[in-house]
Chain A
Amino acid sequence: MPTKVIMPKLGESVVEGTVTAWLKEEGETIEEYEPLVEINTDKVDTEIPSSASGTLLKILVPEGETVEAGTILAWIGEPGESIPDEDQAREKEHEPQEEPVEEPAPEQPEAKQDSGRDKDLGYISPVVSRLAQEEDVDLSKVKGTGMDGRITKKDVLNYLEERKEEKKEVEEEPEIPIWETPADGDLFRPTELVFAQSEKEQEAPPEHKPLAEPGETLPLTSMRKRIAEHMVHSKQTAPHVTTVMEADMSRVFAHRQVSQPKAEARGVHLTYTAYFLSAIVTGLKAVPLANASWTDEGIRVHKAINLGMAVALPSGGLIVPVIERADESSLTGLARQVNDLAERARSGQLKPDEVQGGTFTLTNHGTKGSLFATPVINQPQSGILGTGIIQKRPVVVNDAIAIRPMVYLSFTFDHRVLDGASADTFLAHVVHALENWPLA
C-alpha cells in the first residue's frame, strides 16, 4: 500500500502552497523523515520530510505549481507498486490519521451558551444563546451593554457585524486551530515582542539598587535571614530531586487571548500564573501524594489544596502568599487572587496568615529568561513547581516542524514522599492540563 505525500496546512490562514523544488526524482529511494520536497506558502518556506521509506513512485504536482492544502503531492511505495486512483485517494485523505499537522480535534467548548444566568457572563437571554450557537459566537468576546452589563441581542449583532471581516479568513479554514499558525515565518523572535504583555505582568518591577561596593558587607535583613533559614532547613530536611518536562502552551495562549479582554473588563489580569496554578490543581488531584508532608508518624496527605506562589519583592527577596483551597476557584477566581496577593505582597500588605498553610508551591523563575531550574521545597511541603520562560520554539508535531510557545516545568519533589514515577505522573498531568486547555 503506497503512502501519499500531501501539501500540509501550515497555518490558520494558509490554504495553499507552492511546490518550489522536488529533492528526489521519481524512482529514487527515500528514507522516512528525509527531506522530499520544498514548498512555499505565503507564510513560510519549508521542507517536507518524507512520510515513509521507499521509492518515490510518482510526483503529482510539478515544481512551480500551487495547490490547495491537503492535495496529494506524490506517492511513495515499493517499486512497481500501483498507485491508488485519484478519487479513491482523495476520499482517503479525509481520514483523520492522515491529516497533516493535525492534533486530535480538541473538544471545542462550543460557543454554545445556554440561556439563563451565567456565572461570568450574567443573564443570557434565549435569543442571545441561540444566536451564539447559530453564529458560533464566543460570548465572552462580546461586550454587554444591557442591564447590569448583560449581553443583549444587539450586542451580539454588532459583534457579528464587526466579526464579518475577520470571519472571512477564519471561514476559509475553520478546522485549523489557532495554535497551528506558523506565525509569519519569522522564527525566534525576541520573546518580549511575543509576550510583551505577559512579561510585564509577571515581572516584578525591577528595583535598581545602587550596586554594592566591592567587598562591602550588606547587612542581613530579617527577610534575608528567614529565607536563608528556610532554604538551609529545607535542603537539610528533604532529599530534593528535580524532574523537568516541557509543555506546549498554544492552547493556554489561545484561551488567554480570548479571555484576557473579558477578564480585563472585570478588572482581572489573567496571568499565566493562574493557568499554572489551575494545572497544578489538576495534577494534585490526580496524584494526591504530591500534596503531602513527610512526618515521622507517616506521610500526611492534605485534603485541602492550598497553593503558595512565590512573589519576588521589589526590595529583593521573596514571599510566598497562599491561595487557600485553590481547587475551589475558577480560573478567573485564581487570577483574581493572584492579582490581589501579588499586589499586596509587593506593597507589604499581606496578613500573616496569608503566607501560611500552603501545601504546594509554584515559582516562576522564567521572568528573566530562565529555562529550567531546581527550586527548593518550601517546607513542610513536598513539592514545588518551577516555570521557565515561555518561548516560541520549533517543535515536531506529527512529523512536521511547528512553532509553538513552549515552557519547561521543573518539578522538585521530596524523594521521601514521592518517587520518580509518581512525581512524573503528577508533572505529566500538569503538562496535559496545559496542553489540552479547553478553548474559551
Chain B
Amino acid sequence: MAEINLVEAIRQAMDEEMERDENVFVIGEDVGVRGGVFRATVGLFDKYGEERVIDSPLAELTIVGVGIGAALYGKRPICEIQFADFIYPAFNQIVSEAAKMVYRSDGAWFVPMVIRAPYGGGIGGGLYHSQSVEAFFAHVPGLKVVIPSNPYDAKGLLKSAVRDPNPVMFFEPKKGYRLIKGEVPEDEEYTIPIGPAKVTREGRDLSVFAYGMMHHYALQAAETVAEEGIDVEVVDLRTLYPVDRETILESVRKTSKALIVHEDNLTGGYGGEIAATIAEWGFMDLDAPVRRLAGPDVPAVPFSHPMQEWFMVNPDKIADAIRDLAAF
C-alpha cells in the first residue's frame, strides 16, 4: 500500500487501463504535453504518444462528439472536460447522443466512454471554475454518474468506468485532488463496481449521505460531533446514477434520521432524489424530517473569499446540521 492523493489515483487508473487495453485513449484540452491543467494525465503523453493522448481543440462539443464516434467504432475514449463548468457545450452530445444510443438503436449501438470532469468550489475559482453539475446528468437514464471521494475508490471506480459499456460521467472533486490522500494497493489490480454506495463510518444516531468532497467533510464533521456524543453514520454514495437505494434505506432503517449533503445548490439538487427515496421507501423508519444541507440557491460560487465561504458547505456547517438533526 502506498499513500497517494486523489489526482494521482485517477492518473494511475488511466495509465493502467491504457496499458491493459490499447483501445483506451484520452482526449481533452491540455491533456498532452501539459499533462492536464490538474496534472491528471502527467506522463501519459510520453508513455503512449500523441495519438492516444490527444490535445483536442478548445471545443468540448468536439471532445465528446468525437469521443462518441470513436466509441461507436470500438474505441474506449476517456474524454476530459477541463472543468465541469465547461461541459455545457457538450451537453447536447451527452444527453441527446451518448445517453440515448443503446435505447434508440434497440441495442445495436453502444457508447463505451468515460467523461471525466473536475467539479466543485472552494478553490477561488469563482462562478465558472466551481460548479457542481451532477444533478443535470443524474437525471438522464442511459448515463451513469460516479463521484469518488478518496483515492482508493477513485482508482477502482475509474477503472470500472473505462470497462463499462455505457457512457459514464466521472466527476472528480477538484478541491480534493491534492488534499485528499489515502492508501492504494501498489501492485494489486482491483476495481470497484459502479453502483454500490458505501457505509464509511458506522453510527447509530443519524445518517449523513454525501459524495465527493462533501463526503470527505462529512467524515470530518462526524469525528467532531463524536466528541459530543453524537454517533454519526456516514454513507458515501459514490455512484449517483444508478443510485444504491438499498444501502441508503438500510442506513435510514438503522438511524432513522437522514442528512444529505452536497455543495451543489439546494433546489433541484441531487439531495432531492435521496430525500425522495427515503420519503418514498423509508418513511416509516424516519424519526425526523429528512434534512438537506446544500449550497444556497444562487447561480454559482462567487469569487470573493467571504462570499465563497458563505456559499460553500464545510465541515463546520455539516457539524452544525448534524447537531440540529440529532437534537430533533
Residues of A within 8 A of B (CB): 125-130, 146-147, 150, 152-154
Shortest CB-to-CB span from B90 to chain A, Å, is: 43
- How far is it, in angstroms, between the C-alpha of A79 and the C-alpha of B283 when the chains are bound? 65
Is B256 in the interface zone, CB < 8 Å from A?
A: yes
> Using Cβ atoms and an 8 Å threshold, which residues of chain A touch B256?
125, 127, 153
User: Can you list 9 residue pairs at the A/B interface with Cβ under 8 Å?
Assistant: A125-B288, A126-B283, A127-B284, A127-B286, A127-B287, A150-B328, A152-B287, A153-B256, A154-B287
Would you give the 0/1 interface string for B303-327, flagging 1 where the beta carbon is closer than 8 Å to chain A?
Answer: 0000000000000000000000001
Is B273 in the interface zone, CB < 8 Å from A?
A: no
Is B164 in the interface zone, CB < 8 Å from A?
A: no
A126 x B327 contact (CB < 8 A): no
B284 x A126 contact (CB < 8 A): yes
Residue with the greatest number of chain B CB neighbours at <10 A, chosen from A146, A152, A154: A152
- How far is it, in angstroms, between the C-alpha of A259 and the C-alpha of B284 when the chains are bound? 26
Q: What are the nearest 9 A-B pairs in CB distance? A: A153-B287, A130-B284, A125-B287, A127-B287, A127-B256, A153-B256, A126-B286, A126-B284, A147-B328
> Using Cβ atoms and an 8 Å threshold, which residues of chain B touch A146?
327-328
> Using Cβ atoms and an 8 Å threshold, which residues of chain B touch A125?
256, 286-288
- How far is it, in angstroms, between the C-alpha of A69 and the C-alpha of B6 when the chains are bound? 71
> Using Cβ atoms and an 8 Å threshold, which residues of chain A touch B288?
125
Is B244 in the interface zone, CB < 8 Å from A?
A: no
- How far is it, in angstroms, between the C-alpha of A129 and the C-alpha of B287 when the chains are bound? 9
Number of A-B pairs, beta carbon distance below 8 Å: 29
- How far is it, in angstroms, between the C-alpha of A147 and the C-alpha of B289 when the chains are bound? 12
- How far is it, in angstroms, between the C-alpha of A147 and the C-alpha of B291 when the chains are bound? 15
Is B285 in the interface zone, CB < 8 Å from A?
A: yes
- How far is it, in angstroms, between the C-alpha of A129 and the C-alpha of B284 when the chains are bound? 8
**Complex: chain A residue closest to B284, CB-CB:** A130
Contact of B285 among A126, A147, A150, A154 (CB under 8 A): A126
**Complex: chain A residue closest to B204, CB-CB:** A154
Would you give the 0/1 interface string for B193-225, flagging 1 where the beta carbon is closer than 8 Å to chain A?
Answer: 000000000000100000000000000000000
A152 x B328 contact (CB < 8 A): yes
Would you give the 0/1 interface string for B283-304, flagging 1 where the beta carbon is closer than 8 Å to chain A?
Answer: 1111110000000000000000
Shortest CB-to-CB span from B50 to chain A, Å, is: 59
**Complex: chain A residue closest to B255, CB-CB:** A153
> Using Cβ atoms and an 8 Å threshold, which residues of chain B touch A129?
284
Q: How many residues of B contact A (CB 8 A)?
A: 10
**Complex: chain B residue closest to A147, CB-CB:** B328
> Using Cβ atoms and an 8 Å threshold, which residues of chain A touch B283?
126
- How far is it, in angstroms, between the C-alpha of A341 and the C-alpha of B318 when the chains are bound? 50
- How far is it, in angstroms, between the C-alpha of A147 and the C-alpha of B205 when the chains are bound? 15
- How far is it, in angstroms, between the C-alpha of A130 and the C-alpha of B286 when the chains are bound? 9
Shortest CB-to-CB span from B281 to chain A, Å, is: 12
Residues of B within 8 A of A (CB): 205, 256, 283-288, 327-328
Shortest CB-to-CB span from B6 to chain A, Å, is: 37
- How far is it, in angstroms, between the C-alpha of A127 and the C-alpha of B327 when the chains are bound? 16
**Complex: chain A residue closest to B252, CB-CB:** A127
- How far is it, in angstroms, between the C-alpha of A154 and the C-alpha of B327 when the chains are bound? 11
- How far is it, in angstroms, between the C-alpha of A152 and the C-alpha of B289 when the chains are bound? 12
- How far is it, in angstroms, between the C-alpha of A126 and the C-alpha of B205 when the chains are bound? 16
Shortest CB-to-CB span from B44 to chain A, Å, is: 51
- How far is it, in angstroms, between the C-alpha of A152 and the C-alpha of B256 when the chains are bound? 10
> Using Cβ atoms and an 8 Å threshold, which residues of chain A touch B287?
125-128, 152-154
> Using Cβ atoms and an 8 Å threshold, which residues of chain B touch A128?
287
A130 x B285 contact (CB < 8 A): yes
**Complex: chain B residue closest to A153, CB-CB:** B287
**Complex: chain B residue closest to A128, CB-CB:** B287
- How far is it, in angstroms, between the C-alpha of A128 and the C-alpha of B256 when the chains are bound? 10
Shortest CB-to-CB span from B323 to chain A, Å, is: 12
- How far is it, in angstroms, between the C-alpha of A130 and the C-alpha of B287 when the chains are bound? 10
- How far is it, in angstroms, between the C-alpha of A319 and the C-alpha of B256 when the chains are bound? 53
- How far is it, in angstroms, between the C-alpha of A127 and the C-alpha of B290 when the chains are bound? 13
> Using Cβ atoms and an 8 Å threshold, which residues of chain B touch A126?
283-287
> Using Cβ atoms and an 8 Å threshold, which residues of chain A touch B327?
146-147
Shortest CB-to-CB span from A20 to chain B, Å, is: 51
Shortest CB-to-CB span from B10 to chain A, Å, is: 40
- How far is it, in angstroms, between the C-alpha of A146 and the C-alpha of B286 when the chains are bound? 14
Shortest CB-to-CB span from B137 to chain A, Å, is: 32
- How far is it, in angstroms, between the C-alpha of A154 and the C-alpha of B256 when the chains are bound? 10
- How far is it, in angstroms, between the C-alpha of A154 and the C-alpha of B319 when the chains are bound? 20
Shortest CB-to-CB span from B291 to chain A, Å, is: 13
> Using Cβ atoms and an 8 Å threshold, which residues of chain B touch A150?
328
**Complex: chain B residue closest to A151, CB-CB:** B287
- How far is it, in angstroms, between the C-alpha of A152 and the C-alpha of B284 when the chains are bound? 13
Shortest CB-to-CB span from B62 to chain A, Å, is: 51
**Complex: chain A residue closest to B257, CB-CB:** A153
**Complex: chain B residue closest to A150, CB-CB:** B328
> Using Cβ atoms and an 8 Å threshold, which residues of chain A touch B284?
126-127, 129-130
**Complex: chain A residue closest to B288, CB-CB:** A125
Shortest CB-to-CB span from A142 to chain B, Å, is: 13
> Using Cβ atoms and an 8 Å threshold, which residues of chain A touch B286?
125-127
> Using Cβ atoms and an 8 Å threshold, which residues of chain B touch A152?
287, 328
Residue with the greatest number of chain A CB neighbours at <10 A, chosen from B256, B284, B287, B288: B287
Shortest CB-to-CB span from A135 to chain B, Å, is: 13
- How far is it, in angstroms, between the C-alpha of A125 and the C-alpha of B256 when the chains are bound? 10
- How far is it, in angstroms, between the C-alpha of A128 and the C-alpha of B328 when the chains are bound? 13
**Complex: chain A residue closest to B253, CB-CB:** A127
- How far is it, in angstroms, between the C-alpha of A152 and the C-alpha of B288 when the chains are bound? 8
**Complex: chain A residue closest to B279, CB-CB:** A126
> Using Cβ atoms and an 8 Å threshold, which residues of chain B touch A147?
327-328
- How far is it, in angstroms, between the C-alpha of A153 and the C-alpha of B288 when the chains are bound? 9
**Complex: chain B residue closest to A155, CB-CB:** B287
Shortest CB-to-CB span from A199 to chain B, Å, is: 41
**Complex: chain B residue closest to A134, CB-CB:** B284
Extra A-B contacts (8), CB below 8 Å, given A130-B284, A130-B285: A125-B256, A126-B284, A126-B286, A127-B256, A147-B328, A150-B328, A153-B256, A154-B287
Shortest CB-to-CB span from A415 to chain B, Å, is: 58
- How far is it, in angstroms, between the C-alpha of A153 and the C-alpha of B205 when the chains are bound? 10
Residue with the greatest number of chain A CB neighbours at <10 A, chosen from B205, B283, B284, B285: B284
**Complex: chain A residue closest to B327, CB-CB:** A147
